[in-house]
Amino acid sequence: MKTVSVPGTGTQVAYDALGEGPGLALLHGTSLDPATNFGHVTQRLSARRRVITPEYGGCGLSTIPPGPLSLEVAVEQIAAALGDAFDGPVDLVGESLGAVVAAATAARYPGLVRHLILVAGWASSADPRHQLVFGTWKRLQQLDCELANRYIMPLAISPAFLTELGDEALVAWAGQPAPTCTAERIDLDLRIDLQGVLDRIQGKTLIIQGRDDQIIPDYQTVLLRAHIPDADHVVIPSGHAIFAERPDDVCELVNTFLSR
Protein backbone atom coordinates (compact mmCIF):
# COMPACT_ATOMS: atom_id res chain seq x y z
CA MET A 1 0.00 0.00 0.00
CA LYS A 2 1.31 3.44 -0.94
CA THR A 3 0.83 6.57 1.15
CA VAL A 4 0.76 10.11 -0.22
CA SER A 5 0.83 13.45 1.59
CA VAL A 6 -2.28 15.56 0.90
CA PRO A 7 -1.42 19.24 0.36
CA GLY A 8 -3.19 21.78 2.57
CA THR A 9 -4.78 19.22 4.91
CA GLY A 10 -1.97 17.94 7.12
CA THR A 11 -3.07 14.40 6.26
CA GLN A 12 -1.94 11.41 4.24
CA VAL A 13 -3.96 9.08 2.02
CA ALA A 14 -3.16 5.44 1.32
CA TYR A 15 -4.14 3.32 -1.65
CA ASP A 16 -3.55 -0.08 -3.26
CA ALA A 17 -3.26 -0.59 -7.03
CA LEU A 18 -3.96 -3.58 -9.25
CA GLY A 19 -3.88 -4.22 -12.99
CA GLU A 20 -2.87 -2.15 -16.02
CA GLY A 21 -4.79 0.09 -18.41
CA PRO A 22 -7.20 3.02 -18.08
CA GLY A 23 -7.58 4.32 -14.54
CA LEU A 24 -10.44 3.28 -12.26
CA ALA A 25 -10.78 4.21 -8.58
CA LEU A 26 -13.17 2.54 -6.09
CA LEU A 27 -14.25 4.54 -3.03
CA HIS A 28 -15.48 2.59 0.00
CA GLY A 29 -18.46 3.23 2.26
CA THR A 30 -18.68 4.59 5.79
CA SER A 31 -18.06 1.49 7.90
CA LEU A 32 -16.08 -0.53 5.36
CA ASP A 33 -12.50 -0.44 4.15
CA PRO A 34 -11.44 -1.16 0.56
CA ALA A 35 -10.92 -4.87 1.21
CA THR A 36 -14.32 -5.50 2.79
CA ASN A 37 -16.16 -3.30 0.28
CA PHE A 38 -14.43 -4.30 -2.95
CA GLY A 39 -12.02 -7.18 -2.27
CA HIS A 40 -14.31 -9.69 -3.97
CA VAL A 41 -14.61 -7.66 -7.20
CA THR A 42 -11.26 -5.94 -7.77
CA GLN A 43 -9.83 -8.83 -9.80
CA ARG A 44 -12.64 -8.79 -12.34
CA LEU A 45 -12.68 -4.98 -12.57
CA SER A 46 -8.90 -4.84 -13.04
CA ALA A 47 -8.81 -7.29 -15.97
CA ARG A 48 -8.38 -4.42 -18.44
CA ARG A 49 -7.82 -1.47 -16.11
CA ARG A 50 -5.48 -0.15 -13.44
CA VAL A 51 -7.70 -0.10 -10.35
CA ILE A 52 -6.85 1.78 -7.18
CA THR A 53 -8.70 1.42 -3.87
CA PRO A 54 -7.94 4.42 -1.64
CA GLU A 55 -8.50 4.52 2.08
CA TYR A 56 -9.81 7.97 2.97
CA GLY A 57 -11.31 9.89 5.87
CA GLY A 58 -9.20 8.28 8.59
CA CYS A 59 -9.67 4.70 7.38
CA GLY A 60 -6.61 2.46 7.72
CA LEU A 61 -3.37 4.31 7.06
CA SER A 62 -5.15 7.47 5.91
CA THR A 63 -5.37 10.20 8.54
CA ILE A 64 -7.63 13.12 9.38
CA PRO A 65 -6.91 16.40 11.16
CA PRO A 66 -8.25 17.03 14.69
CA GLY A 67 -11.95 17.79 14.93
CA PRO A 68 -14.87 16.75 12.73
CA LEU A 69 -14.01 15.19 9.38
CA SER A 70 -14.93 17.53 6.53
CA LEU A 71 -16.02 16.53 3.06
CA GLU A 72 -13.36 18.88 1.72
CA VAL A 73 -10.60 16.84 3.39
CA ALA A 74 -12.01 13.60 1.99
CA VAL A 75 -12.15 15.13 -1.50
CA GLU A 76 -8.57 16.39 -1.29
CA GLN A 77 -7.43 12.94 -0.20
CA ILE A 78 -9.07 11.30 -3.19
CA ALA A 79 -7.71 13.97 -5.55
CA ALA A 80 -4.21 13.39 -4.17
CA ALA A 81 -4.50 9.63 -4.65
CA LEU A 82 -5.77 10.04 -8.22
CA GLY A 83 -3.02 12.50 -9.06
CA ASP A 84 -0.36 10.19 -7.68
CA ALA A 85 -1.64 7.01 -9.33
CA PHE A 86 -2.61 8.32 -12.78
CA ASP A 87 -1.42 10.80 -15.39
CA GLY A 88 -4.87 11.82 -16.67
CA PRO A 89 -8.62 11.58 -16.08
CA VAL A 90 -9.94 8.40 -14.47
CA ASP A 91 -13.25 6.62 -13.96
CA LEU A 92 -14.55 6.96 -10.41
CA VAL A 93 -16.86 4.51 -8.62
CA GLY A 94 -18.16 5.05 -5.09
CA GLU A 95 -20.62 3.23 -2.86
CA SER A 96 -22.64 4.98 -0.12
CA LEU A 97 -20.39 7.64 1.46
CA GLY A 98 -17.88 6.71 -1.25
CA ALA A 99 -20.47 7.81 -3.83
CA VAL A 100 -20.89 11.14 -2.02
CA VAL A 101 -17.12 11.70 -1.96
CA ALA A 102 -16.84 10.62 -5.61
CA ALA A 103 -19.55 13.10 -6.66
CA ALA A 104 -17.96 15.91 -4.64
CA THR A 105 -14.54 15.11 -6.16
CA ALA A 106 -15.98 15.20 -9.69
CA ALA A 107 -17.64 18.54 -8.94
CA ARG A 108 -14.49 20.04 -7.39
CA TYR A 109 -12.04 18.59 -9.96
CA PRO A 110 -13.98 17.87 -13.17
CA GLY A 111 -10.75 17.46 -15.12
CA LEU A 112 -9.78 14.46 -12.98
CA VAL A 113 -12.91 12.40 -13.61
CA ARG A 114 -13.80 10.85 -16.96
CA HIS A 115 -16.86 8.81 -15.94
CA LEU A 116 -18.67 8.70 -12.60
CA ILE A 117 -20.62 5.79 -11.11
CA LEU A 118 -22.55 6.49 -7.90
CA VAL A 119 -23.82 3.43 -6.05
CA ALA A 120 -26.33 4.02 -3.23
CA GLY A 121 -25.35 7.67 -2.90
CA TRP A 122 -27.26 10.76 -1.82
CA ALA A 123 -27.19 14.55 -2.22
CA SER A 124 -28.41 15.94 1.12
CA SER A 125 -28.50 14.80 4.74
CA ALA A 126 -31.14 17.35 5.77
CA ASP A 127 -33.96 14.77 5.61
CA PRO A 128 -35.29 14.11 9.17
CA ARG A 129 -35.37 10.35 8.59
CA HIS A 130 -31.74 10.43 7.48
CA GLN A 131 -30.81 12.34 10.63
CA LEU A 132 -32.61 9.77 12.78
CA VAL A 133 -31.02 6.74 11.10
CA PHE A 134 -27.47 8.06 10.99
CA GLY A 135 -27.67 9.87 14.33
CA THR A 136 -28.71 6.63 16.05
CA TRP A 137 -25.98 4.70 14.22
CA LYS A 138 -23.36 7.21 15.36
CA ARG A 139 -24.42 6.97 19.01
CA LEU A 140 -24.40 3.17 18.90
CA GLN A 141 -21.00 3.13 17.20
CA GLN A 142 -19.58 5.25 20.01
CA LEU A 143 -21.04 2.87 22.61
CA ASP A 144 -20.67 -0.63 21.17
CA CYS A 145 -19.42 -1.59 17.69
CA GLU A 146 -21.26 -4.93 17.63
CA LEU A 147 -24.52 -3.28 18.65
CA ALA A 148 -24.02 -0.67 15.92
CA ASN A 149 -23.48 -3.47 13.38
CA ARG A 150 -26.64 -5.24 14.51
CA TYR A 151 -28.59 -1.99 14.09
CA ILE A 152 -27.32 -1.07 10.63
CA MET A 153 -27.24 -4.53 8.99
CA PRO A 154 -31.04 -4.92 8.59
CA LEU A 155 -31.15 -1.43 7.07
CA ALA A 156 -28.19 -1.99 4.74
CA ILE A 157 -29.04 -5.51 3.53
CA SER A 158 -32.30 -6.67 1.98
CA PRO A 159 -34.39 -9.09 4.10
CA ALA A 160 -34.07 -12.03 1.71
CA PHE A 161 -30.28 -11.75 1.43
CA LEU A 162 -29.90 -11.28 5.18
CA THR A 163 -31.98 -14.39 5.88
CA GLU A 164 -30.02 -16.47 3.37
CA LEU A 165 -26.77 -15.67 5.14
CA GLY A 166 -27.77 -17.82 8.10
CA ASP A 167 -27.12 -17.48 11.81
CA GLU A 168 -23.39 -18.22 11.75
CA ALA A 169 -22.60 -15.65 9.05
CA LEU A 170 -24.79 -13.02 10.72
CA VAL A 171 -22.99 -13.44 14.03
CA ALA A 172 -19.63 -13.14 12.23
CA TRP A 173 -20.72 -9.99 10.37
CA ALA A 174 -22.07 -8.41 13.53
CA GLY A 175 -18.81 -9.10 15.35
CA GLN A 176 -16.55 -7.49 12.74
CA PRO A 177 -14.49 -4.61 14.16
CA ALA A 178 -15.08 -1.24 12.55
CA PRO A 179 -12.31 0.41 10.51
CA THR A 180 -10.55 3.32 12.18
CA CYS A 181 -12.51 6.60 12.47
CA THR A 182 -15.85 5.02 11.53
CA ALA A 183 -17.71 7.28 13.99
CA GLU A 184 -16.12 10.32 12.36
CA ARG A 185 -17.30 9.18 8.93
CA ILE A 186 -20.82 8.55 10.26
CA ASP A 187 -20.74 12.09 11.62
CA LEU A 188 -19.82 13.29 8.11
CA ASP A 189 -22.80 11.32 6.76
CA LEU A 190 -24.98 13.63 8.86
CA ARG A 191 -23.56 16.82 7.29
CA ILE A 192 -23.74 16.24 3.52
CA ASP A 193 -25.15 18.86 1.16
CA LEU A 194 -24.11 18.55 -2.49
CA GLN A 195 -27.12 20.28 -4.03
CA GLY A 196 -25.20 23.45 -4.88
CA VAL A 197 -22.24 21.74 -6.56
CA LEU A 198 -23.54 18.69 -8.43
CA ASP A 199 -24.26 20.71 -11.56
CA ARG A 200 -20.48 21.19 -11.95
CA ILE A 201 -20.01 17.51 -12.77
CA GLN A 202 -18.97 17.23 -16.41
CA GLY A 203 -18.42 13.51 -16.93
CA LYS A 204 -21.14 11.07 -17.91
CA THR A 205 -22.68 9.66 -14.73
CA LEU A 206 -24.41 6.40 -13.85
CA ILE A 207 -26.51 6.23 -10.67
CA ILE A 208 -27.13 2.71 -9.34
CA GLN A 209 -29.90 2.34 -6.78
CA GLY A 210 -30.91 -0.65 -4.68
CA ARG A 211 -34.64 -1.25 -4.96
CA ASP A 212 -34.83 -2.34 -1.31
CA ASP A 213 -32.41 0.24 0.11
CA GLN A 214 -33.60 1.25 3.58
CA ILE A 215 -30.69 3.58 4.32
CA ILE A 216 -31.01 5.78 1.23
CA PRO A 217 -34.68 5.60 0.14
CA ASP A 218 -35.92 6.28 -3.37
CA TYR A 219 -36.66 9.97 -2.80
CA GLN A 220 -33.03 10.54 -1.81
CA THR A 221 -31.87 9.00 -5.10
CA VAL A 222 -34.39 11.14 -7.03
CA LEU A 223 -32.89 14.26 -5.44
CA LEU A 224 -29.37 13.15 -6.36
CA ARG A 225 -30.31 12.50 -9.96
CA ALA A 226 -32.16 15.81 -10.29
CA HIS A 227 -28.97 17.79 -9.64
CA ILE A 228 -26.59 15.97 -12.02
CA PRO A 229 -26.80 17.23 -15.62
CA ASP A 230 -25.96 14.05 -17.54
CA ALA A 231 -26.94 10.99 -15.49
CA ASP A 232 -28.38 7.58 -16.27
CA HIS A 233 -30.28 5.81 -13.49
CA VAL A 234 -30.55 2.06 -12.91
CA VAL A 235 -32.49 0.27 -10.16
CA ILE A 236 -31.51 -3.29 -9.24
CA PRO A 237 -33.02 -5.76 -6.73
CA SER A 238 -30.76 -5.13 -3.74
CA GLY A 239 -30.50 -3.39 -0.43
CA HIS A 240 -28.04 -0.59 0.29
CA ALA A 241 -24.98 -2.87 0.21
CA ILE A 242 -25.13 -3.46 -3.54
CA PHE A 243 -21.53 -4.64 -3.98
CA ALA A 244 -22.13 -7.25 -1.27
CA GLU A 245 -25.53 -8.45 -2.48
CA ARG A 246 -25.24 -8.19 -6.26
CA PRO A 247 -21.51 -8.25 -7.18
CA ASP A 248 -22.11 -9.84 -10.60
CA ASP A 249 -24.84 -7.36 -11.53
CA VAL A 250 -22.96 -4.28 -10.39
CA CYS A 251 -19.71 -5.36 -12.09
CA GLU A 252 -21.59 -5.94 -15.33
CA LEU A 253 -23.19 -2.49 -15.05
CA VAL A 254 -19.82 -0.87 -14.36
CA ASN A 255 -18.03 -2.66 -17.20
CA THR A 256 -20.84 -1.99 -19.69
CA PHE A 257 -21.09 1.68 -18.79
CA LEU A 258 -17.34 2.27 -18.97
CA SER A 259 -16.96 0.42 -22.27
CA ARG A 260 -19.58 2.45 -24.11
For residue 218, how many C-alpha atoms fall within 13 Å in the half-sphere facing its CB? 6
Q: Domain holding 200: CATH number?
A: 3.40.50.1820
Q: What is the block-wise mean pLDDT of the chain (260 residues), using blocks of 10 residues? A: 97 98 98 97 94 98 96 98 97 98 98 97 98 98 97 96 93 94 98 97 96 97 95 97 98 94
Tell me, yes or no, whether 246 lies in a domain.
Answer: yes
Tell me, yes or no, whether 138 lies in a domain.
Answer: no
Q: CA–CA separation, 124 vs 157, rounded Å?
A: 22
Tell me, yes or no, whether 141 lies in a domain.
Answer: no
Tell me, yes or no, whether 159 lies in a domain.
Answer: no
Strand locations in 56-190, DSSP E? 90-95, 113-119
Tell me, yes or no, whether 177 lies in a domain.
Answer: no
Tell me, yes or no, whether 129 lies in a domain.
Answer: no
Is the model's pTM score more than 0.85?
A: yes
Residue-wise DSSP of 197-240: TGGG--SEEEEEEETT-SSS-HHHHHHHHHT-SSEEEEEES--S
| Phi, psi at 18, each rounded to 5° | -150, 140
* pLDDT the model gives residue 102: 98
In order of 62, 90, 125, the CA distances from 191 in angstroms are 21, 27, 6
Provide Rg for the chain, Cα atoms. 17
Sequence letter at residue 103: A
Tell me, yes or no, whether 101 lies in a domain.
Answer: yes
Tell me, yes or no, whether 77 lies in a domain.
Answer: yes
**Which region holds residue 150: left if phi is over 0, alpha if psi is between -120 and 50, else beta?**
alpha
Query: What residues are paired with 207 via a beta bridge?
Result: 118, 233
CB 31 within 8 A of CB 179: yes
CB 246 within 8 A of CB 220: no
Q: CA–CA separation, 260 vs 257, rounded Å?
A: 6
Q: Which domain holds residue 53?
A: 2-124+194-259
When divided into structural domains, the chain yields a total of: 1
Q: CA–CA separation, 101 vs 55, rounded Å?
A: 12
* pLDDT the model gives residue 119: 98
